[in-house]
Homo-oligomer: A and B are copies of this chain.
Amino acid sequence: MGTQEVQYKPLSVKELLKEMKNLSSLMIDLAYSAFLYDHKKLAEEVMRLEERVDYLGYLLGIQAALAARDREDAEQVSGILKVASAVDKMSDAAADIANLVLLDISVHPTIHSAFKKTEEIIGRIKIREKSVLINKTFEDLELETRIGVDVIALRRGKDWILNPNKKIKLQVGDILIARGSVESIEFLDKLSSGKVNKLPEVAK
């Protein structure tokens, strides 16, 4: 297994639109979480996602222009370009929110703590050298069953994988974006940093 599984090869307008939709939805989720929990690393991921969405928008523009052969095509191309511009606006807005976090403009600590008590949070966790998670697939790990976290995205370098496939093997440096309770995210963090080396048993 190499990095092939995470490589993105944009081929069609359809694929590009779908990817932009998914990434911009993720950006919004992460931007809000970063703001509500004053989570700078998560805000930085939003900024990275913005670059990705911008790049996809650029590819979409090229694809759309290539597709136009007559007047009717051109009208549809214009529609697609307008969608690309709307997506750009959304991802800018998500980046605006993330930027507040990076500029240390945040909500009142009582709001943070109110959220932490009651809500699922989104964590950003980096796989470090000593982690027991390395070379394991999500299928091996059963993170949702064992510790109650849902990995919603994985970043490997500049590549983003949304809802990662069960067969993907974790590598050093992978960034996991996961949803769960504060405790379960903290536990995943310990597994990822190597502070804890044993996964809980799967309940039967």
Within 26-76 of A, Cβ neighbours of B (below 8 Å) are at 28-29, 31-32, 35-36, 67, 73, 75-76
Residue-wise interface mask of A (91-131) relative to B, using a CB-CB cutoff of 8 A (1 in contact, 0 not): 01110110010000111100100110001000000000000
Q: Which of A80-88, A133-141, A165-173 contacts B (4 or more CB under 8 A)?
A: A80-88
Q: Is the CB of B21 within 8 A of A107?
A: no
Q: Is the CB of A28 within 8 A of B24?
A: yes
In the complex, chain B residues whose CB is within 8 Å of the CB of A90: 28, 89-90, 93-94
Q: Is the CB of B79 within 8 A of A106?
A: yes
Nearest-neighbour CB distance to chain B for A29, whole angstroms, equals 7
Q: Is the CB of A79 within 8 A of B100?
A: yes
Nearest-neighbour CB distance to chain B for A73, whole angstroms, equals 8
Please tell me if A182 contacts chain B, counting CB pairs below 8 Å.
no
A17 and B29 in contact (CB under 8 A), knowing A82-B105, A94-B90? no
In the complex, chain B residues whose CB is within 8 Å of the CB of A108: 67, 73, 76
- The closest CB in chain B to the CB of A64 belongs to B107
Please tell me if A204 contacts chain B, counting CB pairs below 8 Å.
no
Nearest-neighbour CB distance to chain B for A180, whole angstroms, equals 17
Best-surrounded residue of A14, A29, A90, A92 (most CB of chain B within 10 A)? A90
| Residue from B14, B35, B75 in contact with A111 in the complex, judged by beta carbons closer than 8 Å | B14
In the complex, chain B residues whose CB is within 8 Å of the CB of A100: 79, 82-83
Nearest-neighbour CB distance to chain B for A4, whole angstroms, equals 22
A75 and B25 in contact (CB under 8 A), knowing A13-B111, A32-B17, A35-B83? no
Q: Which residues of A pack against B, CB within 8 Å?
A: 13-14, 17-18, 21, 24-25, 28-29, 31-32, 35-36, 67, 73, 75-76, 78-80, 82-83, 85-87, 89-90, 92-94, 96-97, 100, 105-108, 111, 114-115, 119
Question: Which 9 A-B residue pairings sit nearest by Cβ, starting from the closest?
Answer: A89-B93, A79-B105, A86-B93, A86-B96, A90-B93, A21-B32, A86-B97, A90-B90, A76-B108
